[in-house]
Amino acid sequence: MGSGSWATAIAKIVTDNGYPITWWVRQQSNIDYFTKRHHNPHYLRNTYFDIAKINFTASIQDLVDESDIIIIAVPSIHIASALASIDPSTLQNKKIISAVKGVIPKYNILLNEYLAKQFNVSLENYFTLLGPSHAEEVAAEQLSYLTFSGVDTKETEQIASFFATEYINTRINNDVLGVQYAAVAKNIYALGAGIAHGLEYGDNFLSVFIANAANEMDCLLSALMQSNNKELEKTNHTASVYLGDLLVTCYSLHSRNRTFGNMIGKGYSVRAAELELNMVAEGYNACKCIMAMKDTIQVDLPIIKAVYQILWEGHDPAASFKEIEKILV
């Protein structure tokens, strides 16, 4: 479900493993192009597919009806509109895999919470596909690690098995909420890293900034888990799906959030950066969502607050980072 770069990379993994898929692509013109040329017209254009393994559809209901396992790889800001036409009864007993790295705007909730409220999807049938990976590297078959999370270990292992290839190593855990919040937070910190780069801070500052971001993320995840009455003792926030994803998103030139932030640091307006990037930077809406939750979780988030103020309240990036300098340790 979705046709962006990450959705395209995921489709490559699954079809490389020999599994047939139904693929929902919003525009029929893109389906026609894909069918004729065997590659996505807009993303990862050098990645070619065996079209015999793919049933394209412009009907999201058809995708639901024809699939046992549904992978959602739609940007969080488009989730509500994309799913609006689905008959809730047809989602019952389907396995849902989320590749979404954001909070649903307006509702300020994770995808599993949205699906539970709108479609009565149980957490037992919900899994996440996350990790320190980039669509471009997956498409090039460079070794990447993906972490799959679910409440039932055996079910999660089975889901992960569909994605294990020579270029994909899979890992599993049971921290369904924590991994999603980590994916939300790391995009915000990557925006900050990009802003710092655009302001011409050096490697030393960036390393200090990211170290502090990792600590702030740990505090955020712990507070969120406590607010959801979840156990914290066995959660290792230095694992690849947490710290690893933060590092790669902050440092990599493939990172759209870092690229977006870099433009802001160089003086672009938010709108100009959006037009230039031509892809969704999930951290932009995520920082607004986290700030809306801040009073509920009652934790100090100075880095996220600074990024939010730059992007949503028009604060000067240089002045804001001068204040950040004072709190970094």
The domain that holds 249 is classified in CATH as 1.10.1040.10
Residues 79 and 95 in one domain: yes
Q: Which of 70, 10, 8, 2 is nearest to 43 (CA)?
A: 8
Residues 200 and 169 in one domain: no
**Angle 176-198/282-297 helices, nearest 10 degrees?**
120
Residue-wise DSSP of 212-236 = HHHHHHHHHHHHHHHHTT---TT--
pLDDT tens-digit map of 163-212? 999 999 999 999 999 999 999 999 999 999 999 999 999 999 999 999 99
Query: What pLDDT does residue 128 have?
Result: 97
pLDDT band at residue 232 under the 50/70/90 scheme: very low
Query: What pLDDT does residue 94 have?
Result: 95
Residues 156 and 257 in one domain: no
Query: What pLDDT does residue 179 have?
Result: 93
pLDDT tens-digit map of 126-161? 999 998 888 999 999 999 999 999 999 999 999 999
23 close to 15: Cβ distance less than 8 angstroms:
no
Query: What pLDDT does residue 235 have?
Result: 75
How many domains, the chain? 2
99 close to 92: Cβ distance less than 8 angstroms:
no
Query: What pLDDT does residue 74 have?
Result: 93
Q: Is 145 exposed, middle or buried (0-12, 13-18, 19+ CB in 10 A)?
A: middle
Q: In 3-state terms, what secondary structure has residue 66?
A: helix
What torsion do the CA atoms of 138, 48, 33, 83 make, to the nearest 10 degrees? Answer: -40
Q: Which residue's entry shows tokens 């712990």?
A: 222
Looking at 141, 157, 174, which one is the last position of a domain? Answer: 174
Query: What pLDDT does residue 277 have?
Result: 82
High-pLDDT (> 90) share of the chain, %: 78
pLDDT tens-digit map of 56-102? 999 999 999 999 999 999 988 899 999 999 999 999 999 999 999 88
pLDDT band at residue 36 under the 50/70/90 scheme: very high
Residues 276 and 308 in one domain: yes
14 close to 21: Cβ distance less than 8 angstroms:
yes
Residues 72 and 124 in one domain: yes
Which domain does 135 fall in, by range?
A: 5-174
Strand 144-149 versus strand 126-130 pairing type: antiparallel
Statement: residue 234 has pLDDT above 80: no
Residues 240 and 301 in one domain: yes
Cα torsion angle, 153, 156, 158, 164, sign? negative
Q: Please count the helices (runs of H) and the strands (runs of E) in the chain.
A: 15, 7
221 CB contacts (<8 Å, ≥6 apart)? 178, 181, 182, 185, 235, 237, 242
Mean pLDDT for the chain overall: 92
Residues 113 and 245 in one domain: no
Looking at 174, 208, 236, which one is the last position of a domain? Answer: 174
Residues 138 and 281 in one domain: no
Query: What pLDDT does residue 294 have?
Result: 76
Residues 190 and 89 in one domain: no
Residues 127 and 270 in one domain: no
pLDDT band at residue 293 under the 50/70/90 scheme: confident
Query: What pLDDT does residue 102 have?
Result: 83
**Phi, psi at residue 95, to the nearest 5°?**
-90, 130
Residues 90 and 147 in one domain: yes
Looking at 128, 156, 174, which one is the last position of a domain? Answer: 174
CATH code: domain of residue 18: 3.40.50.720
Residues 111 and 228 in one domain: no
